[in-house]
């Protein structure tokens, strides 16, 4: 069975560079894959949820979704 993959996407105000750095370090520490600047993919929903809570509790906005590839 394939592991599910999840995506966190977030918006952190540019003036909050400390939070931005903290989030990027946390995502790198769990070896999340950057899809775009504020969109990261990983298979550990619990870890991504903790990071999303950090963002949301410090003035940013974060959402999590399940990553599903669709055949075209």
48-70 pLDDT per residue, tens = 999 999 999 999 999 999 988 88
Name the pTM for this structure: 0.89
> Which residue in 6, 2, 9, 1 sits closest to 46, CA to CA?
6
Structural domain includes residue 39: yes
Structural domain includes residue 72: no
Q: How many domains does the chain have?
A: 1
Give the Cα separation of 9 and 7 in Å (integer): 6
Query: Which domain, by its residues, includes 11?
Result: 5-67
Question: Does the pLDDT value for residue 2 go beyond 80?
Answer: no
Confidence at residue 1, expressed as pLDDT on a 0 to 100 scale: 66
Tell me, what CATH number does 46's domain have? 3.30.70.240
14-40 pLDDT per residue, tens = 899 999 999 999 999 999 999 999 999
């Amino acid at each position: 069975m394939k592991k599910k993959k999840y995506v966190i996407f977030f918006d952190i105000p540019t003036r909050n560079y400390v939070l931005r750095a903290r989030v990027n370090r946390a995502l790198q520490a769990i070896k999340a894959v950057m899809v775009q600047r504020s969109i990261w993919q990983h298979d550990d929903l619990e870890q991504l949820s903790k990071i999303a809570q950090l963002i949301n509790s410090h003035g940013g906005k974060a959402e999590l979704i399940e990553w599903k590839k669709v055949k075209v």
